[in-house]
Amino acid sequence: MTERFSFTLKATDGRARTGVIDTPRGQIRTPAFMPVGTAATVKAMMPESVAATGADILLGNTYHLMLRPTAERIAALGGLHRFMNWSGPILTDSGGFQVMSLADLRKLTEEGVTFRSHIDGSKHMLSPERSMEIQRLLGSDIVMCFDECPALPADRDRIVQSMRLSMRWAERSKEAFGDRPGHALFGIQQGGLEQDLREESAEALKEIGFDGYAVGGLAVGEGQEAMFGCLDYAPEMLPTDKPRYLMGVGKPDDIVGAVKRGIDMMDCVLPSRSGRTGQAFTRRGVVNIKNARHADDPRPLDEACTCPACTGYSRAYLHHVFRAGEIISSMLLTWHNLHYYQELMASMRAAISEGRFDAWEAEFHALRAEGDGARRSRSQPRYRHGPPG
């Protein structure tokens, strides 16, 4: 087990990359998808269940945890890993995005952001220094710089102002982070959809120097075509020997497109949130289990999936428990979605290692184009652990 943070690039195929991030708390195989544990939990999942899906790392949210139960309380109880019973690596975001999107009565200055909590209206201040302090108290393995992220579309002047403020905050974040062996600090590239501003941001971050680099300011309303257009150049502006993290993405085809363009890490609430609302991701697209057509369907969600939802339960059962509002619905569908996302990452890692990513990608899109109705057989399914009890 390493005592320091490091990244090893194992193979490339086109611009797609696979490698390993070593941390004192374990390895992170890349490309990696990080389930989101906003409030120190991945909703509807036990930590050991999340690990069973294949996840190497979780994401925790600075904004939510600083408000409740507070970073100071978590530190007094032994840190975030012990608090939520997760022994693997944890990445914490800086809180900047949530302040901009959730908090009330925000006031942005050079110093930072003052805001009122969306929970109880209490007043708070987040600055680069305070964000670093909170993430230190939480004890996360990967810490994100404090930044400002404007929603898109935005005019160029607004994007310039925001990006340059974020770069000044990045420098302050690096100074406040200090020397913490075994912990990593990631810088965040900004610049909207403007290539020259992305380049300016990347150069500023490289001048400061970070353990990894995120492509920020995407998946904020610009659409997939515009996002991919930015990813056609933005990751290549960042160092090749450091991990590249695309924040807040996304749908399966977003993830595949990002990996194709050189991204190593991603996170999104989508698989867990969708599970709670009756949506399941499969190789042939999205299944809306709430639909009446599933009420008498004995098939599993995906006949090739090995998760508990697919090996033990029919679509008819999953439809029933969702309609009945049973807690097991969220548990099974969330497990399935996270399992699907981790299998997606594992299959991409293998394809890149074997130099067949283009063929893998073509098959991925072909299966999704068939749609869920392509194999609507009424034959009895084969349950790997016996029929539902």
In the prediction, which pLDDT does 3 show? 85
Two tokens, residue 258: 């990002």
Asked whether 165 and 111 are in contact (CB, 8 A), the reply is: no
**79 annotated as ligand-binding:** no
Q: How many CB atoms lie within 10 A of CB 355?
A: 12
Q: Which position has the higher pLDDT, 152 or 103?
A: 152
Q: Going by C-beta distance under 8 Å and a sequence separation of 6 or more, which residues neighbour residue 1? A: 24, 26
In the prediction, which pLDDT does 387 show? 31
Kindly give the residue spans of alpha helices, DSSP state H, lying in 59-192: 62-67, 71-76, 80-84, 96-101, 128-138, 156-177
Two tokens, residue 84: 């939520």
- Rounded mean pLDDT, 257-284: 98
In the prediction, which pLDDT does 333 show? 98
In the prediction, which pLDDT does 377 show? 45
Of 13, 56, 211, 267, the catalytic one is: 267
Q: Is 141 a catalytic residue?
A: no
Answer whether residue 194 shows pLDDT above 90: yes
How much is the CA Rg of the chain, to the nearest whole Å?
21
In the prediction, which pLDDT does 96 show? 86
pLDDT in tens, 70-127: 999 999 999 999 999 999 999 999 998 888 787 667 899 999 999 999 899 999 999 9
Q: Is 179 a catalytic residue?
A: no
Q: What is the rounded CA–CA span in Å between residue 127 and residue 260?
A: 35
Asked whether 160 and 201 are in contact (CB, 8 A), the reply is: no
pLDDT band of residue 153 (cuts 50, 70, 90) is confident
- Rounded mean pLDDT, 360-380: 79
Query: Could you tell me what percent of the chain has a pLDDT over 90?
Result: 88
**190 annotated as ligand-binding:** yes
Query: Could you tell me what percent of the chain has a pLDDT over 70?
Result: 95
In the prediction, which pLDDT does 106 show? 87
Asked whether 221 and 198 are in contact (CB, 8 A), the reply is: no
Q: Which position has the higher pLDDT, 380 or 356?
A: 356
Answer whether residue 376 shows pLDDT above 70: no
> Interior CA angle at 87 toward 242 and 337, to 5°?
80
**149 annotated as ligand-binding:** no
In the prediction, which pLDDT does 386 show? 33
pLDDT in tens, 11-34: 999 999 999 999 999 999 999 999
Which secondary-structure segment (H or E) carries 212?
Answer: strand 212-215
Of 13, 56, 93, 297, the catalytic one is: 93
**147 annotated as ligand-binding:** yes
pLDDT in tens, 289-339: 999 999 999 999 999 999 999 999 999 999 999 999 999 999 999 999 999
- Rounded mean pLDDT, 230-242: 98
Q: What is the rounded CA–CA span in Å between residue 59 and residue 268?
A: 9
pLDDT band of residue 149 (cuts 50, 70, 90) is confident
The mean predicted confidence, pLDDT, of the chain is: 94
Q: What is the rounded CA–CA span in Å between residue 9 and residue 18?
A: 6
* pTM (two decimals): 0.95
For residue 13, give Cα distances in angstroms to 260, 353, 357, 358.
Answer: 9, 8, 7, 8
In the prediction, which pLDDT does 375 show? 54
**275 annotated as ligand-binding:** no
* Reduced DSSP (H G I as helix, E B as strand, rest coil) percent helix, strand, coil of the chain, to 5: 40, 20, 40
pLDDT in tens, 47-58: 999 999 999 999
For residue 318, give Cα distances in angstroms to 271, 289, 332, 333, 344.
Answer: 16, 7, 8, 8, 23
**95 annotated as ligand-binding:** yes
Asked whether 192 and 224 are in contact (CB, 8 A), the reply is: no
